[in-house]
Structure 1
């Protein structure tokens, strides 16, 4: 659709011309044409008559699109369209490009063998496009007569080899000219030495919108704020990019955020520097000198702080802190996240957020916590939206409803395929009345009976392989993450166990249940290879109460199994193994009142340790291999 069929071209072009004239230093050398344009405060030319427009259309064999026709009626051409096109065509100079640049072949060579008709159609632009650039800095401006909307507007494409990017599409000639006006503003917004301050009606209006957007964001109206800030950012207005980057970072919409101009301000560095260097670390840059580019304007002390923070982030030792009541909530949230209660940790932060006080006017939300190894894993797009919707920083607004938790109740989620996880087999131990920090003493020996620092399960496995010097084909030591499993229970979870050997398996339930109650589950009902299996054992005061194992298509049982867990209820047939697994997990959760945190296990960071072996020692005549790494 045409952006505005009644667009006032004359007012727009006059305003642009005046802004351009006022941006030029009085003593700057310039050509005769530019000096005349400055004196006249007009970048255009006399209007084209209907006869000249008709002659153009006859010469080209096509009626011109509406917005270009209306433009020509006001100015038959244009000087300084943006920063890189010094002369734009009017009726005399517009012409079919007809691959004069010989770029069609280059763009076609870049196509993959399986490129479709649409991609080849795009590459053919250089043969069919109408060229509008007359003088430029190696920048092409082509209108496409085959990319036409319902109002007859032709799309405009701009391309320059030095930009190393595909042609940029503008929906119409009007959209192109508006974009060029924005480009002119963005290039003038930060003038160099000797240039006049770039202030005019447009900048004053945009700066007022930036300030209102800042307050609106603090009131929780981030969606309205983003719209205004993005527009101001396109015009290069100071503050706009730094403000909108904060919102985009919390929404997870920006792969890289620089917090333009704010991150080197001492007031904001404690909140904005950690997420910036965390993104740098996540990109796995080999050359840390690129940090200086992202921290333009930083002095040596600030660069030293950046590198020190980067080292902490990479080493997993960065710890976010804040002042006042919000800072106290941060500490409580970290302790909850440490043991897997990420939903509780998030609620703790959100309840305290209205009490958060920004360190300066241009800080929209606490952000340093996203680089914290424990707290950063709490962030998800829906949570970022929830945080931004909370009134804060002394502003009043309508408080949003509570954000839904990421963790389902119970255990049944373990039976569901997870897009971010390759879990098809897993095992866990549940212990009643014991804190998770006590589980290593019950399930491990010697040096293994110590918790590692919190990390993802993937990182923990990599760390174990790196430091482990001996591997045995007979031992089955489990790397387990620990946390709280609901009121009064703790869990130890292994999401990538070795193969299940029914003849040699020894349940850790009795050892884990000394003086209390313990539950062991090992499920392979969705295993990729081998026979499907499932094991449950329950112990109290160090002795097994009951157990059953489904393997080799039969069930072996012992003890007095409660009806809710009786295997005969689940293994009559195994037509749908996933549904049987779900039913079993629901029964275990219901019988013991337990749950395990999906988000912390799949995406978060938890303490880990290595258990003693889940298999009995080798018997007489049983051989096995040991591999020692030097």
Structure 2
């Protein structure tokens, strides 16, 4: 049956509602005489109002009534059990102006009339004094038709308010829209809650909506997630199984507007593999710990509490990994290996190719949400890629598939010195080591104070672990996040360096190049009036050339600088923050072009990378100590 509020077939709609209500009440013990009559006769309404009844009401009120309320009255002159909280709805005899009978206008009007409120809020001022009251008997619920809120079709908006739900009055654009919503509310209440479904509540409407959920699931797996979300939104209003669950997954992946807030339950097919880890990750990222929550309480969830406790602990520690199994699981493992070294574009390419091989775990599971909980892979799924995932056919279904999103990591290295290049709020200072012929895991052995890599961490967590003290200038051990810079190259970058030390610098380039390839060190500091750019390059353990510029003055050049890195050619001899930034950008792109280098911006700004503490980059000044960067051969 078409439940569009604009085209309600009132006789059919009200007859079906009445029959469904009567069937739901068949086991009710000791009903009221009125309810017993309604159940026996299969009718929640009254005799129709005729034209004279409606005309008399309009004359008493002094106005013409909105169309859908009049159409309703011509079928039933009043109604019982409109939803769960209005027991009696007014017909022509009982409808009357509310006239702020309970003095609610004083409180509401003062709040609504605030000049900072948007127009639609301020338009409610005077509602309680002017509205037509339609509730006759209710559970502290007020139902008002607003003659000042009229649509182009002549419909008056309905406002529903109950003090016990502590919110603004709900607005429905017409009486018909309100009645459709109350039919949905009746269904939602009778269908039961998640995990405690009333499986005996079956009728024509439930069968229609369950079929819509089935169509929506198929459409979603074929990639048509927007139409799927539309069907699921309607089905969820009727409380149908999987309506909320499936739409929530589309929302969480950014397919349609909304806020993913559905709590996982052990009855969810992907509870332990996808949904609980994602809920725990959301709590962790919001600053609220998930430890000790009811998921891990054996008195609440005896069958899953132990596994849930393990998951919560691993998510909090950042060690949980999404392991879906099968061919898709193999691709997830391969993508994670790429992503943990910063190669997020390749990681996404691996996942993209594998999405069609993903398998659903049950009728309430339409997407690999566990990817969003994996601390390494979550950042690979940018909003655009999440929508591409949703639009990709999977789970055994076929469809056209979306156009692929492009790679995200930029060419060259100049983006490092652009405002917010390393992320919003950062001042763009950094020091960087680029090493040829060594894997990222080998960098600690070359320039580390220990040979142990920390687990993948966000840049903030690398620099701000609990209990860490700020190093002094004399023990300036860089905290380097590491990854792959290009085929055959690795990088280590410190995005919160101490101030540049000048002639106290000990460049790690010679040690980093000990395996025989090149090593490049860059230190950039954009403090206005004291801008610093340092570049030093070594090969096979020997320094090749170096350049240090501070505030437009060349402090050092050593070795045979390539022509494209000459300070005057780059523009370093022009002082000022912007000229120095532009010169640094040109220098970085020249280095990148010379050696074929890139850096993974997405991983550096949003991801989690392995890290280690380097040997000191500076030495404390001693009397008579002539400090220099490196001997240039």
* Shared fold per TM-score greater than 0.5: yes
Whole-angstrom distance in 1 between the partners of 2:568 and 2:290: 61
| C-alpha contact (below 8 Å) 1:268/1:359 kept by paired residues | no
Whole-angstrom distance in 2 between the partners of 1:304 and 1:232: 34
Whole-angstrom distance in 2 between the partners of 1:254 and 1:41: 38
Q: Which residue is 1:558 aligned to?
A: 558
State the Cα distance separating 1:520 from its structure 2 match: 1.6
Q: Which residue is 2:481 aligned to?
A: 481
Match of 1:197 among 174, 181, 200: 200
Change (3 A) 1:390 1:137: same
Whole-angstrom distance in 1 between the partners of 2:234 and 2:197: 28
Say if 2:494 is the partner of 1:491. no
| C-alpha contact (below 8 Å) 2:264/2:279 kept by paired residues | no
| C-alpha contact (below 8 Å) 1:25/1:194 kept by paired residues | no
State the Cα distance separating 1:466 from its structure 2 match: 1.6
Once the two structures are superposed, the pairs formed by residues 62-211 of structure 1 within 5 Å of their partners are 62-107=63-108, 115-116=116-117, 118=119, 119-122=121-124, 124-190=126-192, 197-211=200-214
State the Cα distance separating 1:310 from its structure 2 match: 0.5
3-state secondary structure, aligned to 2:502 = coil
| C-alpha contact (below 8 Å) 2:191/2:199 kept by paired residues | no
Once the two structures are superposed, the pairs formed by residues 439-518 of structure 1 within 5 Å of their partners are 439-445=443-449, 447=450, 449-463=451-465, 466-468=467-469, 471-514=471-514, 515-518=516-519
Once the two structures are superposed, the pairs formed by residues 191-590 of structure 1 within 5 Å of their partners are 197-251=200-254, 255-258=259-262, 263-265=266-268, 269-285=272-288, 290-292=293-295, 299-414=301-416, 415-417=418-420, 420-445=424-449, 447=450, 449-463=451-465, 466-468=467-469, 471-514=471-514, 515-525=516-526, 527=527, 531-556=530-555, 557-571=557-571, 572-573=573-574, 576-577=578-579, 578-590=581-593
Structure 1 residues 538-547 or 589-598, which shifts more? Answer: 538-547
Q: Which residue is 2:615 aligned to?
A: 612
Whole-angstrom distance in 2 between the partners of 1:353 and 1:195: 35
After TM superposition, where is structure 1 displaced by more than 6 Å over at least 4 residues in a row?
111-114, 191-196, 295-298
3-state secondary structure, aligned to 2:486 = coil
Paired residues in the alignment total: 613
Structure 1 residues 395-404 or 201-210, which shifts more? Answer: 395-404
Whole-angstrom distance in 1 between the partners of 2:126 and 2:438: 70
Q: Which residue is 1:596 aligned to?
A: 599
Whole-angstrom distance in 2 between the partners of 1:81 and 1:496: 62
Deviations 1:505-535 (A, max 9, x none): 333222222222111222233x4x5522222
| C-alpha contact (below 8 Å) 1:23/1:196 kept by paired residues | no
Whole-angstrom distance in 1 between the partners of 2:405 and 2:8: 43
| C-alpha contact (below 8 Å) 2:459/2:608 kept by paired residues | yes
Structure 1 residues 591-600 or 298-307, which shifts more? Answer: 298-307
Whole-angstrom distance in 2 between the partners of 1:193 and 1:462: 45
For structure 2, the 5+ residue unaligned runs are: 626-633
Change (3 A) 1:393 1:3: closer
Change (3 A) 1:176 1:477: same
For the aligned residue pairs, the C-alpha RMSD in angstroms reads 3.0
Q: Which residue is 2:631 aligned to?
A: none
Structure 1 residues 605-614 or 89-98, which shifts more? Answer: 89-98
State the Cα distance separating 1:137 from its structure 2 match: 0.9
Change (3 A) 1:545 1:101: farther
State the Cα distance separating 1:18 from its structure 2 match: 1.3
State the Cα distance separating 1:430 from its structure 2 match: 0.8
State the Cα distance separating 1:178 from its structure 2 match: 1.1
| C-alpha contact (below 8 Å) 1:24/1:195 kept by paired residues | no
State the Cα distance separating 1:406 from its structure 2 match: 2.8
Deviations 1:324-348 (A, max 9, x none): 2212112111110110111211211
State the Cα distance separating 1:124 from its structure 2 match: 4.2
Whole-angstrom distance in 1 between the partners of 2:365 and 2:76: 44
Deviations 1:86-111 (A, max 9, x none): 11222232233333333333345667
| C-alpha contact (below 8 Å) 1:25/1:196 kept by paired residues | no
Whole-angstrom distance in 1 between the partners of 2:609 and 2:77: 68
State the Cα distance separating 1:598 from its structure 2 match: 1.1
State the Cα distance separating 1:255 from its structure 2 match: 4.3
State the Cα distance separating 1:287 from its structure 2 match: 7.7
Structure 1 residues 322-331 or 339-348, which shifts more? Answer: 322-331
Whole-angstrom distance in 2 between the partners of 1:347 and 1:543: 39
TM-score, structure 2 normalization: 0.89
State the Cα distance separating 1:45 from its structure 2 match: 2.1
Whole-angstrom distance in 1 between the partners of 2:354 and 2:52: 69
| C-alpha contact (below 8 Å) 2:522/2:536 kept by paired residues | yes
State the Cα distance separating 1:188 from its structure 2 match: 0.8
Whole-angstrom distance in 1 between the partners of 2:388 and 2:233: 20
Q: Which residue is 1:12 aligned to?
A: 13
3-state secondary structure, aligned to 1:474 = helix
Deviations 1:123-143 (A, max 9, x none): 543333332222111112222
Change (3 A) 1:112 1:303: farther
State the Cα distance separating 1:581 from its structure 2 match: 4.1
State the Cα distance separating 1:249 from its structure 2 match: 2.3
| C-alpha contact (below 8 Å) 1:241/1:260 kept by paired residues | no
Whole-angstrom distance in 1 between the partners of 2:102 and 2:591: 71
For structure 1, the 5+ residue unaligned runs are: 623-630
Whole-angstrom distance in 2 between the partners of 1:99 and 1:512: 80
